[in-house]
């Protein structure tokens, strides 16, 4: 995990920003979790109001990766709660980005993991097990591919085709 600021990464890698190899997500995500700075290779999920596959993935070793969940922007229920955030921390995930909602915000905020989501909702999700893993997902105004790198801090979230250096 890097502690380099996203602004510094963008400034240092302006050529990659201009070419589209480094993309900045639109500032639609709220900050949750105790770790406000996190980074790592991306694992993607596409689900809709169903978090069974979210749990399945978080039960695997994270090895410093970041789970990017495209929940279709739904704000009708939460895809991640306190128990799953703690599981992610225990399994060594660096962070989670949710194009949807979280719940148990107070629990998530004391868990040593980085989380970004578009909001919170106290309703839990459906449990049908429907969704797709490791596919390109679209959120925050950009397409995100499995294996790309995600960097997040208080300034925002950036995606890079490769690991960045300053």
**CATH number of the CATH domain containing 133:** 3.50.30.40
Quick one: pLDDT at residue 81?
Answer: 98
Q: Provide mean pLDDT across the span 93-122.
A: 98
Quick one: pLDDT at residue 3?
Answer: 64
The two three-digit tokens of residue 138, written as one number = 């679209």
Quick one: pLDDT at residue 123?
Answer: 98
Q: Provide mean pLDDT across the span 43-65.
A: 98
State yes or no: 141 annotated in a binding site. Answer: no
Whether residue 50 contacts residue 75, with contact meaning beta carbons closer than 8 Å, is answered with: no
State yes or no: 16 annotated in a binding site. Answer: no
Determine the structural domain holding residue 77 and report its residue range. Answer: 6-159
Helix (H) or strand (E) holding 90: helix 82-90
The two three-digit tokens of residue 99, written as one number = 């194009």
Confidence tier at 4 by pLDDT (50, 70, 90) = confident
Closest CA to 127 of 79, 74, 67: 79
Residue at 71 is within a domain: yes
Residue at 27 is within a domain: yes
What is the count of structural domains for the chain? 1
Residue at 142 is within a domain: yes
Report how far residue 68's alpha carbon sits from residue 104's, in angstroms, rounded to the nearest whole number.
Answer: 19
Residue at 164 is within a domain: no
- Neighbouring C-beta atoms of residue 161, cutoff 10 Å: 15
Residues above pLDDT 70, as percent of the chain: 98
Whether residue 134 contacts residue 44, with contact meaning beta carbons closer than 8 Å, is answered with: yes
Choice between 1 and 83, residue whose per-residue pLDDT is larger? 83
Quick one: pLDDT at residue 2?
Answer: 47
Q: How far is CA 68 from the centre of its chain?
A: 4
Q: Provide mean pLDDT across the span 51-61.
A: 98
Report how far residue 121's alpha carbon sits from residue 125's, in angstroms, rounded to the nearest whole number.
Answer: 10
State yes or no: 81 annotated in a binding site. Answer: yes
State yes or no: 106 annotated in a binding site. Answer: no
Quick one: pLDDT at residue 10?
Answer: 96
Residue at 83 is within a domain: yes
State yes or no: 103 annotated in a binding site. Answer: yes
- Does residue 1 have a pLDDT over 50? no
Residue at 144 is within a domain: yes
Residue at 165 is within a domain: no
Residue at 1 is within a domain: no
State yes or no: 73 annotated in a binding site. Answer: no
């Amino acid at each position: 995990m890097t502690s380099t600021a996203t602004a510094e990464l963008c400034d240092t890698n302006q050529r990659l920003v201009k070419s589209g190899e480094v993309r900045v997500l639109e500032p639609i995500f709220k900050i949750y979790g105790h770790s406000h700075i996190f980074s790592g290779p991306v694992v993607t999920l596409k689900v809709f109001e169903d978090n069974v596959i979210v749990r399945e993935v978080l039960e695997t070793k994270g090895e410093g990766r970041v789970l990017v969940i495209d929940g279709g922007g739904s704000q009708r229920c939460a895809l991640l709660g306190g128990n799953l955030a703690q599981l992610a921390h225990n399994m060594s995930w660096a962070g989670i980005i949710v194009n949807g909602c979280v719940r148990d915000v107070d629990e998530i905020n004391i868990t040593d993991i980085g989380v970004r989501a578009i909001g919170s909702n106290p309703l839990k999700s459906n449990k049908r097990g429907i969704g797709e893993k490791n596919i390109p997902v679209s959120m925050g105004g950009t397409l995100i591919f499995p294996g790309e790198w995600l960097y997040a801090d208080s300034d925002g979230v950036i995606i890079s085709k490769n690991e960045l250096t300053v």
